[in-house]
Chain A
Amino acid sequence: MLKEAKIKKICKRFGNDRTRMMDIVREIQQEFGYVPPKYYDLIAREANTHRVEVQSVVSFYTFLSDRKKGKIIIRLCEDIIDKMAGADEVAAAFERELGIAFGETTDDGKFSLEWTACIGMSDQAPAALANDTVLTNLTPEKVPEIIQALKKKADPQVLVTECGDGNNADQLIQTMVQNNICERGEVLLGDYDLEAGLRKAIEKTPEEVIEDVKNSGLRGRGGAGFLVGLKWEFTRNAPGEDKYILCNADEGEPGTFKDRVLLTERPDLVFEGMTVAAFAIGAQTGIVYLRAEYAYLRAFLEDVLNRRRAAGLLGNNICGKDGFNFDIRIQMGAGAYICGEESSLISSCEGMRGDPSDRPPFPAIAGYRVAPTAVNNVESYCCATRVMDKGADWFSGIGTEKSAGTKLLSVCGDCERPGIYELPFGVTVNELLKKVGAEDAAAMQVGGPSGQMINPSQFDRAISFEDLPTGGSIMVFNKQRDLLEVVEAFMEFFAEEDCGYCVPCRVGNVLLLNRLKQIRNGKGVTEDMDYLEKLGKATKRMSRCGLGQTSPNPILSTLENFRPIYTEVVRDNTSGLQKSFDVLEAMEQANEVTGRQSVLFHA
């Protein structure tokens, strides 16, 4: 078939709908290995939009490309936890084996090597994606075998010789990923009755359901901790016929992998929670925004959805309730951390770049397709299902006064037992460290790079919204680690992942990173700490969305909690000359062009 015809067919499959641009270009990429720029006009015409819309989507997302890449793209996770576990050595082995550097494609067009941000496998690092297949616990020794196998058969799935535990071994998943569930709590990972929550919910009125969720004290699990019941109430009361339920499964915060485990082991709880929300709010359409890194879960999740449709738990007249119609589709992401921010997530679901939007109006008033939309985290929906089954009082009886229930924590880094821990809110850092086997920890990053780094004198603090909030990411560092290196890695991440829309974030993060690098290179002066603090605070205050409002945290929290790591390396500037400026280096190009040396400065 002609390429044009193929593209037309793909566009048609998605209703020639420009709001499905993500799906359209993803399919085209799957078909051709990239999205050929010469077809941008055609795609735009077929999808009733403009060329620039197509181009901006393709250029925005890391997993989309306008250049032909290898048949197999190996994306190695560059997260600091993976680096600590030896990702650099693994990278060198890949480069050696394939004879190309990262960012390049082999001449035969078979392989590309790329770095990528956290892929949600920090408990089994170093990890990589070979197309959609996850490779965990990599070592330089394993690399030659991997490449040999892939050269023999260009299907990364051949690398999965042994499946992980639980549903990871399901016929539709077949991955080497391990759940590493180390502690089950009573809300999420303990035993539960399928459908019980939903069936109890539809016995009530939508208002009563919302009242229950409010009374349970359930707060959003993505990190910000907004009251879920209140959000549902706003969405229900917002004017509009069509309302939407969105599930944020774009867990991109480095070190977070708890939604991965929920989607693997508790998909019904997630979908049931969304259905409960739909009932409460009066929505007919639900979307799960699944990050591209978890594409290996897609077939399995689609199957669960089909099963639920067949059982009358999705579709028309759900559970026999007349007029209760609701269905869920899965929207694949394409590798953009910013899409975990709810307004960016909505932009992405609408087939655009993942740019955040101004608030107000909040999504509850004008979200997806400018209609009232409830966006909640995977874990929040699971909790809501359980609240419906066991009651608000049961839920609010767990945890602390202002943080009800349990929290799913994903722990990684320097500890004996990295993995998933479901613990009641209020657990102290010391208790957690004991469980994970890291009593000698020197620092803990709570809430991922956008959270804060705390020192041992703060280990008696409690994981909760009122003290130490976290979306789930817990990274442990021992005293051998160079914390400035960690901070730099986090800032690199933000500088890479910011969407580029607003100046404070786009420029601020890069300036912060540059100054940090200077300090690490021994060119720092005492005033630099002041500079970092002022610029960091300005970036936080002036940025448009949650990314820039939290991205300086690695620097600001270490300046506060680990000041010596800075004071040890900066020096007083007594001469007034900037150490970071090297005049001889600045003249190197001129030396080459003119063929002479400086009379003033070359001694």
Chain B
Amino acid sequence: MSKPKVATTSLAGCFGCHMSLLDIDDRILQLIDLVDFDKSPIDDIKTFTDRCAIGLIEGGCCNEENVHVLQEFRKHCDVLISFGDCATMGGIPAMRNNIPLAECFDEAYRTGVTVYNPDGIVPNDPDLPLLLDKVYPAHEVVKIDYFLPGCPPSADTLWAALTALLTGQPVELPYELLKYD
């Protein structure tokens, strides 16, 4: 029997959650005994090659490309997991949610105190994905099956959740894995 496939992505996140995933250290060898990685920054596969059992989503959606990728994940994965606070509730990027987009552009490219931009040019290449009016947590865009909070969730949390799902066990996260102080 072929191994189940896992896909991962980092949307409007900082890759910290992926770093945390790598923090499982040598257990990654056990993980690749259990699964194959499909589309993921870890193996740099850009497009889905097959149906996946699990999709791990880091970050919420701040632009159209995030939405597109997330919708692709929903189409290709049986189970989607929001991992980390940005995917779960928008996180730091969502701090702009109360500010109109035009003002964000002004602050970032024209009027911010550290900005040097005498011509006042705002990057607008057609290849740049359009920003959304605000940053959406993943579950507001597609249906999400599980949520792993944390900034980032610890490697042990990720390991416990992934191995439980892959081996068909109930996901049980003890208090120690979900407290942050």
Contact = CB atoms under 8 A, between A and B. Distances in A.
Interface of A: 527, 573, 575-578, 580-581, 583, 585-596, 598-601
Q: Which 8 A-B pairs have the closest CB atoms?
A: A590-B130, A589-B101, A586-B132, A576-B74, A576-B143, A589-B133, A581-B141, A590-B131
B67 interface: yes
A546 B68 CA distance: 44
Nearest to B71: A577
15 contacts: A573-B143, A578-B139, A578-B140, A585-B133, A586-B67, A586-B134, A586-B136, A589-B101, A589-B131, A590-B101, A595-B124, A600-B64, A600-B65, A601-B64, A601-B67
Contacts of B136: 581, 586
Given A578-B141, A600-B64, A593 B74 contact: no
A580 B100 contact: no
A590 B130 CA distance: 6
B42 interface: no
B100 A583 contact: no
Interface in B56-111: 64-65, 67-68, 71, 74-75, 100-102, 105
Nearest to A593: B102
B142 A588 contact: no
A564 B102 CA distance: 44
A16 to B, nearest CB: 40
Nearest to A591: B130
Contact of A589 (B64, B102, B122): B102
A600 to B, nearest CB: 5
Contact of A594 (B74, B100, B124): B124
A599 B134 CA distance: 19
A268 B142 CA distance: 62
A576 B138 CA distance: 12
B168 interface: no
Contacts of B143: 527, 573, 576-578
A576 B142 contact: yes
Contact of A599 (B101, B102, B124, B126): B126
B126 A593 contact: no
Nearest to B65: A600
A600 B122 CA distance: 21
Contacts of A594: 122, 124, 130
A529 to B, nearest CB: 15
A596 B64 contact: no
Contact of A577 (B122, B132, B134, B142): B142
Interface in B107-133: 122, 124, 126, 129-133
Nearest to A573: B143
Nearest to B143: A576
B102 A598 contact: no
A131 to B, nearest CB: 36
Contact of B100 (A576, A589, A595, A600): A589
Contacts of B71: 577
Given A576-B74, A577-B71, A577-B142, 17 more contacts: A576-B75, A581-B140, A581-B141, A586-B67, A586-B136, A588-B133, A589-B102, A590-B133, A591-B130, A593-B102, A593-B105, A594-B124, A594-B130, A595-B124, A598-B130, A600-B68, A601-B67
Nearest to A588: B133
Nearest to B70: A577
Contacts of A577: 71, 74, 141-143
Contacts of A599: 126
A573 B133 CA distance: 25
B68 A596 contact: no
B140 A580 contact: yes
Given A578-B142, A580-B140, A596 B124 contact: yes
Nearest to A577: B142
Contacts of B133: 585-590
A596 B140 contact: no
Given A600-B68, A601-B64, A587 B130 contact: yes
A576 B75 CA distance: 8
Contact of B126 (A576, A596, A601): A596
Contacts of B132: 583, 586-587, 590
Contacts of A578: 139-143
A136 B19 CA distance: 66
A186 to B, nearest CB: 58
B135 to A, nearest CB: 10
A587 B64 contact: yes
Q: Which of B101, B126, B136 has the most chain A CB within a 10 Å cutoff?
A: B101
A592 B126 contact: no
Contacts of A573: 143
Contacts of B75: 576
Nearest to A590: B130
Contacts of A593: 101-102, 105, 122
A596 B128 CA distance: 11
B133 to A, nearest CB: 5
A597 to B, nearest CB: 8
A588 B134 CA distance: 11
A602 to B, nearest CB: 10
Contacts of B129: 600
Interface string B149-163: 000000000000000
A306 to B, nearest CB: 53
Nearest to A584: B64
Contacts of A591: 130
A570 to B, nearest CB: 14
Most chain A Cβ neighbours within 10 Å, of B129, B130, B133, B143: B130
A576 B145 CA distance: 10
A583 B126 contact: no
A191 to B, nearest CB: 61
